[in-house]
A and B are shown apart, each in its own frame.
Chain A
Amino acid sequence: MAKHATPKLDQLESGPWPSFVSDIKQEAENRAKNPKGLDYQIPVDCPEDLLGVLELSYNDGETHWKHGGIVGVFGYGGGVIGRYCDQPEKFPGVAHFHTVRLNQPSGKYYTSEYLRALCDIWDLRGSGLTNMHGSTGDIVLLGTTTPQLEEIFWEVTHNLDTDLGGSGSNLRTPADCLGQTRCEYACYDTSALALEMTREYQDELHRPAFPYKFKFKFDGCPNGCVAAIARSDFSVIGTWKDGIKIDQAAVKAYVAGEFKPNAGAHSGRDWGKFDLVEEVVKRCPSEAISWDGSTMSIDRKECVRCMHCINTMPRALRIGDERGASILCGAKAPILDGAQMSSLVVPFVEAEAPFDEIKEVVENIWDWWMEEGKNRERLGETMKRLSLQKLLEVTGQQADPRHVMEPRHNPYIFFKEEEVPGGWDRDITEYRKRHLR
């Protein structure tokens, strides 16, 4: 028998999609039965009280968590999101309901052995509820009490070789698309870069030293499977410099209907016979493709590497061999001064281990932003306030037409004094000798 009546939540147990309510109830039941005879370190009915407080919020249309919460582990300035219920008497099981962020592996590949060991720790010391995974990438352990934080930290570091993720005004947990592990579009090893950058900047991740949060994300190609361009202050997106590789025999196989366009992604509907001209040639944004009925060719100088033709004919078209990545900066959510996607800063950078070229760009940006960024100002806002030009300067980038979508249309142009003959020091009396008042 459940501890609280949850008529509204119960409705969310119907329908085809996996129900979070059914799952939480299952865990509540499991804890009540305690088949392993665990000595639960936080209230056994924690998941039931969570459903109770959630039902109350469904009724009130209001959250029932108090403002903020500052808890953590010694040595780190982040990693745990403290949280307290605003009805602790009614729902003592979630009086404390802190979230622990754990650093996930690149590409989120696991062994069942690892996940079992993690669940064993969390069953004993937490609520048994998780989020796989947080939007930034972390494994999220959802709900425990303050005294358990150091215990959990000890166990995950000593027994699982796993560290906490990031939170606060620091480098947050980096994340990547699965890259070369199982994608033929990957232009560099995103997993290796994510791991390398996570290790290199552990200190920046665990001890907030920045004006505000800062995120890394690594996409293997412009398809953006980890959405680096929209969700990271520092977005690395793979690309290539030479031409797209064309297998003419495979092109013919697509035209003949032997190979399915887009690897069969649209097979749920009848779109007719594959039409190379309509579906690829005419859709190329740069009109860089030609097809004479038997041979396909691409003008590599005009190709913007949008991925469309490759995505449509993956068995015939392949990324080039001179690979690397672009670096874009400044993506952020709307608060304070409006949403931003990242802007191109480095059009092409080498992306081979140990990734020194990429680290150099990161460190140049941090040196500048840590000094010039205002309190709680994201990199994107600092770029707006102090200009893209300043960012190019501090990263040693020569301004280049690729840095803009289009040139400015207003004439409020700043010049450096040294660029202007005579400089800024002028004498009005000299001027008046030629122009009477």
Chain B
Amino acid sequence: MAEVSFKGKTFEVDEDGFLLRFEEWSPEWVEFVKESEGIAEITEDHQKILDFLQDYYKKNGIAPMVRILSKNTGFKLKQVYELFPSGPGKGACKMAGLPKPTGCV
């Protein structure tokens, strides 16, 4: 496992660049990851999705289903991909600090 440093913070990550521990998340993490996820600037819309993912994860211990993400944030899947080019799993969940999606991906 690798360790990355950015703006005075260090983060432990896996090969896919996901945080190993949700508790290590900080706003600097988002700044650090955004380029590799094809995002130039974090807008309010990005933030809204990241905030929802984090709230949902804290409350339920899992990432929300895509449908629930869309319903709660009001963003259609198409818009989610416009904001996060690699999608809600690899893009948004990674930036929000959630654990890596698993299963038959």
- Considering the chains assembled together, what is the distance between the CA atoms of A211 and B66 in angstroms? 8
B105 lies within 8 A of A375 (CB): no
A70 lies within 8 A of B67 (CB): no
Asked if B15 lies at the interface with its beta carbon under 8 angstroms from chain A, I say yes
A208 lies within 8 A of B87 (CB): yes
A209 lies within 8 A of B90 (CB): no
Q: How many A-B residue pairs have CB under 8 A?
A: 71
Asked if A259 lies at the interface with its beta carbon under 8 angstroms from chain B, I say no
- Considering the chains assembled together, what is the distance between the CA atoms of A375 and B77 in angstroms? 17
The stretch of A48-56, A75-83, A177-185, A298-306 in contact with B is A75-83
Closest beta carbon of chain B to A80's beta carbon, Å:
9
A70 lies within 8 A of B16 (CB): yes
Near B by CB (< 8 A), chain A positions 58-84 give: 66-78, 81-82, 84
Contact partners of A72 in chain B: CB under 8 A: 86-87, 90
Contact of A67 among B67, B78, B88, B102 (CB under 8 A): B102
Given contacts A68-B100, A68-B102, A213-B104, contact A74 B38 (CB under 8 A): yes
Q: Interface size bucket, A side?
A: 20 to 34
Contact partners of A210 in chain B: CB under 8 A: 66
A70 lies within 8 A of B100 (CB): yes
Chain A's closest residue to B62 (CB) is A375
Contact of B85 among A75, A203, A375, A376 (CB under 8 A): A75
Contact of B90 among A70, A169, A213, A371 (CB under 8 A): A70
Given contacts A81-B105, A209-B77, A376-B103, contact A74 B86 (CB under 8 A): yes
Query: Interface residues of B: mostly helix, strand, loop or mixed?
Result: loop
Query: Interface residues of A: mostly helix, strand, loop or mixed?
Result: loop
Near A by CB (< 8 A), chain B positions 83-105 give: 85-90, 94, 100-105
B87 lies within 8 A of A69 (CB): no
B1-31 interface mask toward A, CB cutoff 8 Å, 1 = contact, 0 = none?
A: 0000000000000011010000000000000
Contact of B16 among A71, A78, A81, A211 (CB under 8 A): A71
Chain B interfacial positions (CB closer than 8 Å to A):
15-16, 18, 38, 62, 65-67, 77-78, 81, 85-90, 94, 100-105
- A selection of 14 A-B contacts at a CB cut-off of 8 Å is A68-B102, A69-B15, A70-B16, A72-B86, A74-B85, A75-B85, A76-B86, A76-B87, A82-B15, A208-B89, A209-B66, A209-B67, A375-B62, A376-B103
Q: A70-B16, A75-B86, A169-B103 are in contact. List 7 more A-B contacts (CB 8 A).
A: A68-B100, A69-B16, A76-B86, A77-B87, A84-B15, A96-B15, A168-B105
